[in-house]
Structure 1
């Protein structure tokens, strides 16, 4: 493959991911608003669960929420089923991630937490899935296809989930009326912390 072909292929992949995000934007509806309001009125933390690539995206969403004023932690569904369910309190809310919506471990954790009357928000690409049926609110993360040539490796779908997580975090940050100083309190280190320190002075 020539250099020009490598660049062309990269642009095609990025274009496919862009098209996926455009689909997510088109499908965004009142469910997103409901999710925001549920989280905003939750006295506890946002417990994020997911496995595989969705789990990795969940960790990033949890970190972004925490650094922007919404306390959160990641709960691995397998560990949850082996004792870590005790980390979740009646004041928390769950954000469950599964593109297929049929991930066994995630659905099992959600079933148990629902039986404890803990509200559940799902981000999934399948509104007719088991996870969607178990959840109080479903945010649609459907994308036409993955960037992978075989439409298999989670690529466009994980980009969509990550973007929706960013949207939740930033909307909540703004609704809480937080400012750069509030962000700095949770992010004093690194180049960003130094930059904010200078601005605050």
Structure 2
């Protein structure tokens, strides 16, 4: 195996071990931080310098997307007017591996004077940041995965994981659900499936509709033009059945030479799966998987066809 692959494996194992170490470091301060944030009437403001700053920005983004309003601010900007964004209703989380970062410690007196709660996250429980913080979360690693033991690698990964742990704890405390997540991610796949309904995604034009006495030969042409792999049998304005690729294959095996002249009503699926236009896309996806089908008919309360939703429409 390549020597580079060996290096990668060693790095991943070192970082995984660094994350697992944090389980032993967790104490009652973590619970206190969660309760502090739950009682926060303002915002969670995260700050850090360098790599810690990048990790802080990611944690802020995760918190915001999971129900805890949060944003990142660089400590370098704090002394150029941004101190004004911090109020006593906020909670500040400062991240520093050493806990001695000068740029962070310089505005601690302002936080203390303004009675703004400070959560310190560092690898040194005896640092100045830990000393002045309202609560301190310890993230200590035995060493960096970096071959020189210099570049922040294991320490940043462990800090990021601790941020995820904090977000997960807050999500459970707030009873944060999939639908809540979708509200913050309307453009993502999850938001799409949880917020949109059948009426939003169904195909309504040029539907492959045929009467029940249509011959199978003609029905095949209609199915081909419809490009949905099915045809809908409608009688008196109501859905009476569907003809699928599976129905066609079975009919060809059974009828052989008579196939093209047989009316579709003799081989159609007589109880197709129909749904309301108000059903959510994620429910349709579950239904397609459960029934092992690739499309559902969207009908009104009188069983009149409104549209068709297939697998592709669920992914648009």
After superposition, the CA RMSD in angstroms is: 1.3
By relative contact order (CA 8 Å, sep 6+), the higher-ranking structure is: 1
**1:118-168: CA deviations, max 9, x gaps?**
011111000111111110111010000001111110000000110011111
Larger proportion of helix:
1
Structure 1 unmatched runs, 5+: none
The structural deviation recorded for 1:42 is 0.8
Specify whether residues 200 and 135 from structure 1 end up closer, same or farther in structure 2 by C-alpha distance, changes over 3 A only: farther
The structure number with the bigger radius of gyration is 2
TM-score (norm 2): 0.61
In structure 2, the residue matched to 1:16 is 14
Distance (whole Å) between structure 1 residues aligned to residue 185 and residue 283 of structure 2: 13
Partner of 2:104, secondary structure, is helix
133, 136, 146: which one aligns with 1:135: 133
1:102 is matched with which residue: 100, 103, 108?
100
1:84 equivalenced with 2:167 (yes/no): no
Q: Do 2:181 and 2:191's aligned partners in 1 also have CA atoms closer than 8 Å?
A: no
CA contact (8 A) 2:87 2:114 kept: no
Deviation, structure 1 residue 200: 6.5
Q: Which has a greater percent of strand?
A: 2
List aligned pairs for 1:1-201, cutoff 5 A.
Answer: 4-197=2-195, 198-199=281-282
Cα deviation for residue 192 of structure 1 reads 4.0
Range with greater deviation from structure 2 (156-165 or 18-27): 18-27
Number of aligned residue pairs:
199
Question: Is contact 2:88–2:117 with CA below 8 Å preserved after alignment?
Answer: no
Runs of 4+ with >6 A deviation: none
Normalising by structure 1, we get a TM-score of: 0.95
Structure 2 spans left out of the alignment, 5+ residues: 196-280, 285-316
